[in-house]
Amino acid sequence: MNPVGHPGEAVGLHGKYDGQPGPTVVQYTTVNVTTEPPKDHIIWSLCCFFYSNPCCLGLAALVYSIKARDRKWVGDVEGARHYGNTAKCLNIWATVLACVIVLIFIIVISVVASQAQAAARYINQNPYSRWNN
């Protein structure tokens, strides 16, 4: 079933359609895919090793970063990518754990300081309490 005024033949969608039937031209282009070398995350591993090394995760990340760098020098791209991804994962865990530990430390210090301030205020308000004996 053809609508009125339209031809019954199929028309390609490539290029500009001027109403005249004709061959369609498909152009193929070459895509150059450049793969970047795998990252070894050595700087991040060094920072995690020196500044935040909970459960020795920074040390493990540094070891895997060095292995990734060695694999990259040898030419084993897949091995370097594997070691680099492992180092990245360990660095993420070390950074998150260090941030959580610092946050818990800040909360504990603020709670202890608040309790000490409340105790000092209580002692100053009640000089004959059991704390002064």
Tokens 């000490």: give the residue.
Answer: 116
Helix, strand, or coil here: 91? helix
Q: What six digits make up the tokens of 23? A: 């061959």
Predicted confidence pLDDT, tens digits, the chain (133 residues):
555 655 555 555 555 556 666 566 666 777 666 678 888 899 999 999 998 888 899 999 999 999 999 999 998 999 999 999 999 999 999 999 999 999 999 999 999 999 999 988 888 887 676 655 5
Under 8 Å between Cβ of 37 and 78: no
d(CA 59, CA 132): 50
Q: How far is CA 96 from the centre of its chain?
A: 11
User: Is the full-model pTM beyond 0.75?
Assistant: no
Quickly list DSSP for 103-129. HHHHHHHHHHHHHHHHHHHHHHH-TTS
